[in-house]
Amino acid sequence: MKKINLLFVIAGLLFSCDNYDHSGKGNDIPTAGDLEVWADHGDSLMLLQMKEVFESRYPKARLKFLFATETEILTAVNDGHCRVCFLHRDFQTEEKERLENRNFKVRSVRFAKSSIAAVVNPLNKVNSLSESQIKGILSGELNDWNTVGGNGPLTTIVDRVGGSNYLFFYKRFSLSKINQSRGIRAVNKPHAVLEWVSKHSDALGFVSINWLADRGDSSTREYRKKVKVLKIFSDSNSAVYPFQSQMYTGEYPFTEDVYLHDLQGYSGLGSGFAAWICSQPGQVLLKKCGLLPYFDAGRTIEISTE
């Protein structure tokens, strides 16, 4: 349902009092105070832009992002260290029940769709891959470009074991493991994936789309010059790119919904940030970053025949 939680809407209408800075843990309101927010490394480029714009709009709000793997984020949630986080999935029913049994009030909002792009070195003559070929590569069955229309050995680069992209393929293809012993390397950050691919003609990398689709960011524009984005196809569609139009039509297979989860239990900075992300300014910025907004207002064009 494309409805924002009423608490998020109310939070977005509140303003901080000029007489207080609301500093310190647990002393925040929707537009002011201090808050740690946990998120996946793959979303870091987009979220740091969101933080910058939000804090410029609300100068008394201070967001500190901690980037980690999904496993690390969930551990922090269960330990009570994380009260606001971004995940590429909703909490499962049993997860919510366990949290609520511990008096955590879970408020979640799905606000955008993202995709995972496959990239190669510009010297690589391969322009597209199928889902089954990627499954074979990640399982270790295919480790040579000759088997998929290229030349020479193949090295796959993934962004952190346990990161959202890693877990997406792990679940998508029902892999018992992503075989790191057969030409698969894990690096610490998304830009490291792109740097590696730009310097190695045998590399196949996977990164979240915000690292390639944000043409307003200077680093992203440089990366687009250094790597080649592959088209992906399955049995049911033709080869397509991972950009917004293909996400919108549902043609691109490697897409994920992005959620913000607020466990603060009160109308704090988490609910205020969620309300802003779901508002028109937040959704416009998400579109600029290359994601597909969930609450996209769109445009109404009236044509007169007079």
pLDDT tens string 198-225: 999 999 999 999 999 987 788 888 999 9
pLDDT-derived band at 188 (thresholds 50, 70, 90) equals confident
pLDDT(280) > 70: yes
- Find the mean pLDDT for residues 36-65: 96
- Domains for the chain: give ranges and CATH numbers: 6-113+256-293 (3.40.190.10), 114-254 (3.40.190.10)
3-state secondary structure at position 10? helix
Distance between CA atoms of 140 and 184, rounded to whole angstroms? 8
132 to 141, 152, 161: CA distances (angstroms): 11, 20, 21
Residue 167 confidence (pLDDT): 87
- Find the mean pLDDT for residues 23-51: 90
Residue-level length of the chain: 306
Q: What percent of the chain stands above pLDDT 90?
A: 65
3-state secondary structure at position 266? coil
Residue 113: its H or E element? strand 107-120
3-state secondary structure at position 61? strand
Higher pLDDT, 105 or 301: 105
Residue 21 confidence (pLDDT): 60
pLDDT-wise least confident of 49-58, 119-128, 160-169? 160-169
pLDDT(78) > 50: yes
Distance between CA atoms of 290 and 212, rounded to whole angstroms? 8
Mean pLDDT of the residues in the chain: 86
Residue 141 confidence (pLDDT): 86
pLDDT(74) > 50: yes
Higher pLDDT, 297 or 57: 57
pLDDT digits (tens, 9 = 90+) for 30-41: 999 999 999 999
- Find the mean pLDDT for residues 188-195: 90
Judge whether 67 and 234 are in contact, CB under 8 Å. no
